[in-house]
Amino acid sequence: MQASNPFCGYNIPVVTYRYADHQNLNADLVSIIDDLENFYVTTKSDSIKNDDGNTQTKSILTHNYNNFNIFDRTEYESIGKFKAFVADCYRHYIEKYTKFECKNIVLSAWGNKLGRYDFLNRHCHVYEINNLLEISANYFVKSPEHKTFTRYYSPLSIIKEHYLYRENNEGDFTIFPSFVEHDTSANRSFDKYRYTLGMDAFHADENLEAHKCLIQLID
């Protein structure tokens, strides 16, 4: 586990956990993400016009982040095991780094598949700091066979921009507050893709009508 709290001295934790059996899981996730991409390209091609959370990516999956949930693919045994890991990580993060009660937590989870030159623009998953539990995460599935990075920006910087620059490693699962802006480096590979998962966790009793595909993560 690698934890960083680089922003001023305020508690804005960006915490990375490591999934041990990531090779088997990641092979299944690549198959799932490819299958989902094929569905949207062949049957819902106009959905590329959907909101993409200000990431400005070419990935049709990112434009459908509210329309599917990776954890619905229960025909894969690896997905059930990974869900238990994600629940444990969120439980640890919430109890150690926040004041929120760790119960009745729901989760959205989508895939991103970035081709040559593509990257996720600087964005965040919520645009205010409030008293609601809103905690995001990303999981790095597959590298395009060169180093890629994610930057997490301090929301407290006023004059000089301050960010945490973290190299992406297959099997890394990083949790951070949803108000933290982040972006990625570009995929420079000619024919390899960058596969990742994005996630958002909430209390189930909050205002969630905009989030269509949620699973129960913690009772």
| Distance, CA of 112 to CA of 29 (rounded, Å) | 11
Domain 2-7+16-218: CATH superfamily is: q2cbj1_9rhob like domain (2.60.120.620)
Of 29 and 12, more confident: 29
> Alpha helices, DSSP H only, in the chain?
22-43, 77-97
| Distance, CA of 202 to CA of 150 (rounded, Å) | 23
Show the tokens assigned to 148. Answer: 């890629």
> Which residues lie below 8 Å from residue 147, measured CB to CB, with a gap of 6+?
167, 168
| Distance, CA of 79 to CA of 101 (rounded, Å) | 26
H or E element in which residue 138 lies: strand 134-142
The per-residue b/e assignment along 46-58, b for 16 or more CB within 10 angstroms, e otherwise, is eeeebebbebebb
* Full-model pTM: 0.92
Q: Map out the domains of the chain as residue ranges.
A: 2-7+16-218
The pLDDT tens digits for 91-117 are 999 999 999 999 999 999 999 999 999
Split at pLDDT 50, 70, 90, the class of 11 is confident
Q: What is the pLDDT of residue 8?
A: 47
Query: What is the three-class DSSP state of 78?
Result: helix
The closest of 140, 197, 147, 114 to 19, measured between CA atoms, is 140
Q: What is the pLDDT of residue 101?
A: 92
User: How many CB atoms sit inside 10 A of residue 3's CB?
Assistant: 13
Beta partners for 106? 202, 216
pLDDT exceeds 80 at position 128:
no
The pLDDT tens digits for 133-181 are 899 999 999 999 999 999 999 887 655 578 898 999 999 999 999 999 9
